[in-house]
Amino acid sequence: MDPKRLNALVHDREAASYDDRFLISYDRGIGREVKRELSRAIGRPPRASRALDVACGTGYLAIGMASAGIADRVEACDLSVAMIERTRENAARAGAAVGLTAADAERLPYATDSFDLVVARGALHHLPDPLAALVEWRRVLRPGGTAVVLAEPTRSGERQVAAVVGLAVRAVEARARLARRAPDPSEAERKSWEIASMAANLRTFLPQEIAALAERAGFEVRSVGTASLAWILVLGLNYYLVGETRIARSRPARGAARVIAGGAAAFDRLVSDRVLPPAWRHTIRAVLR
């Protein structure tokens, strides 16, 4: 299947459960959280007149930027129409003004030089042609503007998540065998979607690969590096368990998962991001001009 069609199908289906699976909540803290994340990447508080969130998903960065007043105007786009609709609902709930367009990250429907901040979180690894996407992001960015690429998976990170989630899969299957549950007819279909979701992650990167692609696209690379370990392991586990078990979707379980994820993120800021070898960390972030 064409990888873009696969991505649109998978993300249309995932839109409803995405925020639970990735522990995103569009509450009052969202602006502060996104401002902190972008400040940490850029090295100073971000400020723009027009900002664009490419492959916005349910709107995490776009809504955060609008809520924090980082930009006078925030636009967001995604290939998945269901994700765009989800962003619309989340933005309305958060009281954030975000302009929304269904669009392919490799062919943006915006004028040249129209933004001074372009952000993309967890986007490049879903794209068949990341170089074409970066060329487009460079085109819509004004001279002197900043592009921030966040949360692209590293190879070692993917292997560690697969190992941890693999253990959870075995535990859930053993529990089902012990309970002698009758096979659920919807099980095979659900499993096929989970496999399709994995297939929609088209690639992993090394930091220097993203830097080389960005330079070929005409960017100057201000910084490129890796971050996070424990937080991504917790998110990977939560992603699997929310899809697999009803208990993980319950309110108390979601609350507990958020607390654990918060602790893991703090551990990463204090330990993983400072002490661990960069190659062990799970996500790549790059700041481009």
Cα dihedral 122, 235, 15, 226, rounded to 10, equals 0
Closest to 62 measured CA to CA, from 9, 22, 118 = 118
Nearer to ligand SAM, 128 or 176 (CB): 128
Strands (DSSP E) contained in the chain are 48-54, 71-78, 99-102, 115-121, 141-153, 221-227, 283-288
Element (H, E) at 193: helix 187-199
Sole window of 41-49, 54-62, 63-71, 152-160 interacting with ligand SAM (rule: CB under 6 A): 54-62
* String of contacts with ligand SAM for each residue 118-147, x by CB under 6 A: ---xxx--xx--------------------
Share in percent of the chain as helix, strand, coil (round to 5): 55, 20, 25
Supply φ then ψ for residue 228, to 5 degrees: 65, 140
Nearer to ligand SAM, 1 or 174 (CB): 1
Of 35, 42, 48, 60, the one binding ligand SAM (CB under 6 A) is: 60
Nearer to ligand SAM, 60 or 115 (CB): 60
Asked whether 46 and 116 are in contact (CB, 8 A), the reply is no
Tell whether residue 152 is a contact of ligand SAM (CB under 6 A): no
Nearer to ligand SAM, 81 or 171 (CB): 81
Q: Closest approach of Cβ 80 to ligand SAM, in Å?
A: 4
| Binding site residues, ligand SAM, CB under 6 A | 4, 7, 11, 55-57, 60, 78-80, 83, 104-106, 121-123, 126-127
